[in-house]
Amino acid sequence: MRFEYRYHGSSAVAATPGATSMSFVPDAYREPTYFDGKLNLKVPFREAISALHAVVVSDHRFQARDTTAYKEWAAQRELEELGELAAGQAEAAERYSELAAELRTLRGQRNAIMGPFYKAQREYFQYLYRKNRDFWWVLDPVITVHPDQVFFECFSRDESSYGRLGCGYEVFDHLGDHACGTTNVDYSMALYQEFQKIRGYKETRLQVDPSGFEVETTGDEAYKEVKIDLPESWVRGFLQVSSAMTLPMRRLELHPMDVHNLCFLLRRKKERNGPRSLRFLLTDGEPVRVLVEPWNHELICPRSIYQGQDDEIRLWGRRRLHILERLIPVARRFVVHLLGTGMPSFFVADLGDMSFTLGLSGWTRNDWSRVGNFDLMAARTEVDSVTQRRVFDALRETWVEDTDDLALRLRLDRSVVLGALQAYAQAGRAIYDLEHQAYRVRELTREPLPVESLRFANEREAEASKLVATVEPRVVEEAHGRRTLEAVVADGHRQHQVRVQIDADERLVDATCECSFFFRNKLFQGPCCHILALRMADARRQGSRT
């Protein structure tokens, strides 16, 4: 998938002893989106934008060491040792010289073929890492201007972490002209270094420069065109975050010092073997307890009292929590949203008029794009295209709105509005705001994304569409807006007993199946095809009733 950007110049910083002006250059291919304001929360903004940078460069995948130089040294040392052993032995020395000559010839042939490649590869990556880290970034950050706030979004290189920084207009003393919309901004490593120079005594101005849209493009060399080929998995992972945010979650609050103690414990100790997990032990009315494995160290959070249903939730990939360290001194609290054991989690840092959301997949290898199919668990009510367009146009009028308010204004059923918004979220045109519990308009790309290749690329969903015709769902329990369905799903010569629990918002809360896929993965990688077939059959039954 190819993304094309055009920037009029590069983002720039004008610094004086008393003031700093930061100008982001937006994508000239997109609709004019601009913003101008002077920061009043300078230090919290510096720490939050730095945490966002930590998400961008985050990559916790295993990195194999480059052993090319060592192999070259070992080969040379092998020849020297052979020479030492053969010294003083004329016959052995003569034989050694013949073998050494033959060995040098063979290695010379191999090095002549592969040596230049390995050398160029090593030098290239060393150059990128030390001299020009911009090329290591996958995609320029996305910035969105709304009537109530400006927010930045980014995705990590290993596709397992998502970051969002939202800044309310109270963060700015003097607010200039602005135009709502979404655009990609030219964000370089040099600009990040300038962010570190923000001080409380210096006036700081943040600007998304509208001048890039006012200059003639024909024959203008000031424009810089960037074309990036991205795998569909990266884009699809960005869309999965919104789907996961809409699912039912356990909610708890952590005091900043409790987060500090957790990060300090992980910094102080290094695990040599597994399990490498965090167990959140939640008891209603009692302090949150976190069991850190494999040392079984229980961290009690006396400042954080849990209110809710008792539960025990286990998380992996805990080293990614170090991204939050810079936010601890400026945060008022951390609101944690847990989907369940091995499922995604969201840490929302309350920074007053700003908020920082860190979304983590179940574990590092279980990334958002290829493994976690959380869109299959979200609301999937079938809505016709005319109604979908009507809902989206209504959302564009306000840019951000609660689902209940939108349904009341349009006089539509809440499930219909949820289904339409979820479809637009999977098309990259809307996003769910976890902090405000509302949907926002956010056009991820200039052109509409190919929904078929992003949402329906899962082979399990394709298989479920073949099985749905023979499924007859029956309601076995219905209470408090939730209903439990059962059915026998025939897959070839085998039949599977399937049980699904769906809440009032048509979201998959829990499910069981007798197939091997569910036995191995539960719901960690999304539902199996038999569970999906039961959901599809129920959706069709509900639609025919309506």
Asked if 372 and 265 sit in the same domain, the reply is: yes
Last residue of a domain, one of 135, 151, 178: 135
Quickly state the pLDDT bin for 406 (edges 50, 70, 90): very high
Asked if 168 and 307 sit in the same domain, the reply is: no
Contact 163, 323 (CB under 8 A): yes
pLDDT of 495 > 60? The answer is yes
In a domain, 230, yes or no: no
Mean pLDDT value of segment 57-72: 73
Quickly state the pLDDT bin for 325 (edges 50, 70, 90): very high
- Residues 4-24: pLDDT tens digits? 545 455 555 565 666 666 566
In a domain, 424, yes or no: yes
Q: What is the CATH number of the domain that holds 539?
A: 3.10.450
Total domain count for the chain?
5
- Residues 85-121: pLDDT tens digits? 655 566 666 777 777 778 777 777 766 666 676 677 6
Asked if 283 and 326 sit in the same domain, the reply is: yes
Q: How much is the pTM?
A: 0.72
Which residue did the predictor score with more confidence, 25 or 263? 263
Asked if 300 and 173 sit in the same domain, the reply is: no
pLDDT of 195 > 60? The answer is yes
Contact 511, 527 (CB under 8 A): yes
pLDDT of 216 > 70? The answer is no
In a domain, 168, yes or no: yes
Asked if 258 and 354 sit in the same domain, the reply is: yes
Asked if 262 and 350 sit in the same domain, the reply is: yes
Which helix (DSSP H) or strand (DSSP E) does residue 378 occupy? none
Lowest mean pLDDT among 267-281, 361-375, 423-437: 361-375
The CA-atom distances, in angstroms, between 30 and each of 118, 141, 183 are: 41, 14, 6
Q: What is the pLDDT of residue 486?
A: 92
Asked if 409 and 314 sit in the same domain, the reply is: no
In a domain, 332, yes or no: yes
Mean pLDDT value of segment 278-307: 94
Give me the percent of the chain exceeding a pLDDT of 90.
24
Contact 527, 374 (CB under 8 A): no
Measure the CA–CA gap between 70 and 471, rounded to whole angstroms.
61
Asked if 18 and 157 sit in the same domain, the reply is: yes
In a domain, 234, yes or no: no
The beta-strand segments (E) located in 213-353 are 223-229, 250-254, 277-282, 287-292, 297-305, 311-316, 333-338, 345-350
Asked if 115 and 50 sit in the same domain, the reply is: no
DSSP characters over 318-358 = GGGGGGGGGGTTT-SEEEEEE-STTS-EEEEEE-SSEEEEE
Q: What is the pLDDT of residue 546?
A: 43
3-state helix, strand, coil in the chain (%, to 5): 40, 30, 35
Q: What is the pLDDT of residue 427?
A: 78
Nearest Cα to Cα of residue 529 among 498, 504, 486: 498
Q: What is the pLDDT of residue 493?
A: 79
Q: What is the pLDDT of residue 207?
A: 76
pLDDT of 384 > 90? The answer is no
In a domain, 229, yes or no: no
Strand order in 438-441's β-sheet? 400-401, 438-441, 430-433
Which residue did the predictor score with more confidence, 228 or 359? 359
pLDDT of 411 > 70? The answer is yes
Last residue of a domain, one of 135, 157, 187: 135
pLDDT of 454 > 60? The answer is no
Residue with tokens 């961290």: 299
Quickly state the pLDDT bin for 443 (edges 50, 70, 90): confident
Lowest mean pLDDT among 215-219, 229-233, 269-273, 460-464: 215-219
Q: What is the pLDDT of residue 217?
A: 34
Contact 389, 188 (CB under 8 A): no
CA angle 121, 125, 129 (to 5 degrees): 170
Measure the CA–CA gap between 257 and 263, rounded to whole angstroms.
10
* CA-based R_g, the chain, Å: 28
In a domain, 493, yes or no: yes
Domain that holds residue 417: 385-429+445-455
Mean pLDDT value of segment 132-150: 66
Asked if 283 and 357 sit in the same domain, the reply is: yes
Last residue of a domain, one of 354, 376, 398: 376
Lowest mean pLDDT among 6-10, 179-183, 520-524: 6-10
Quickly state the pLDDT bin for 223 (edges 50, 70, 90): very low
Q: What is the pLDDT of residue 377?
A: 63
Q: Mean pLDDT of all residues in the chain?
A: 78
Contact 265, 187 (CB under 8 A): no
Q: What is the pLDDT of residue 541?
A: 73
Asked if 149 and 15 sit in the same domain, the reply is: yes
Measure the CA–CA gap between 14 and 20, rounded to whole angstroms.
6
Q: What is the pLDDT of residue 391?
A: 92
In a domain, 232, yes or no: no
Q: What is the pLDDT of residue 67?
A: 73
Quickly state the pLDDT bin for 312 (edges 50, 70, 90): very high
| Cis status of the peptide bond prior to 17, with omega within 30 of 0 | no
pLDDT of 137 > 50? The answer is no
Q: What is the CATH number of the domain that holds 141?
A: 3.10.150
CA 384 to chain centre: 30
Mean pLDDT value of segment 136-162: 78
Quickly state the pLDDT bin for 290 (edges 50, 70, 90): very high
Give me the percent of the chain exceeding a pLDDT of 70.
73
Asked if 126 and 164 sit in the same domain, the reply is: no
Quickly state the pLDDT bin for 307 (edges 50, 70, 90): very high
Lowest mean pLDDT among 99-103, 142-146, 215-219, 414-418: 215-219
To the nearest 10°, report the CA torsion of 534, 538, 539, 545: 160
The beta-strand segments (E) located in 110-160 are 142-145, 149-155
